[in-house]
Amino acid sequence: MRRPVVRILPWAAGVLLLLSACEGKDVAGIPSVPPATASEPSQSAGESEVPGFGAPKIENPLDVGGLDQRPCEALTDAQVTELLGSDTTKKEENVSGPMCSWHSYGTDGAFVAVSFPTVTDLGLTGLYRGKGQQLKFFKEMSPVRGYPTVAWGQTDDTATDGRCGVSAGTTDRTTLDATVTLSKKNVGTKDPCEAARGVLDLVIGNIQGGR
């Protein structure tokens, strides 16, 4: 996939303020990133109708262009610097699907991860099914570039840990996820769910711009 030309949008500075850390060289612990459908049993496409359980239909499916196999290309180096600063480390792994995470160094370090969950093929339906049950925290958010988006968690860690996972439905059976942990100085004062939604906006913009 052709790497998109980076354009820093007016709100990008706000996202930077949400995530940026104080200077320092101590490595903060990387928080665990819950897969988008961790609470859902494995289920094949033929065993459930989608969308269901109140999940919205994805009217314009997003072709990620193979980015799900190259998750560390989801954000450009310039965008990672805008989000976390220049002193970062990244890691590609498979946590219920291909994932790339970026971690800023320092005692006030922040964390961003982008993932393409594959543990089920239920898309947002899997999350809506767990609403109020396995997922005690569930909040519908404004769509990202037309794609319906929800913040979720087995517990609400937004105020205590400054962490939030947000999923955008890219097709009726797939999601694109972002998880953010704020720097310590911003925990309790900034909204990590809005920060994660901003990361999804960057990633989907890169996908659309790279076609």
Whether residue 154 is contained in a domain is answered as yes
Whether residue 7 is contained in a domain is answered as no
Whether residue 36 is contained in a domain is answered as no
Whether residue 30 is contained in a domain is answered as no
> How many folded domains does the chain comprise?
1
Whether residue 144 is contained in a domain is answered as yes
Whether residue 188 is contained in a domain is answered as yes
Whether residue 159 is contained in a domain is answered as yes
Residue 210 pLDDT: 61
Residue 107 pLDDT: 56
Q: How far apart are CA 205 and CA 198, in angstroms?
A: 11
Whether residue 28 is contained in a domain is answered as no
Helices and strands, number each (H, E), in the chain: 4, 7
- Residue 200 is part of which domain span? 12-21+53-209
Residue 95 pLDDT: 85
pLDDT profile of the chain (211 residues), mean per 10 = 36 43 35 40 57 97 96 97 91 94 82 96 96 96 98 95 97 98 91 98 93 47
Residue 15 pLDDT: 45
Q: At 190, which CATH number?
A: 3.40.1000
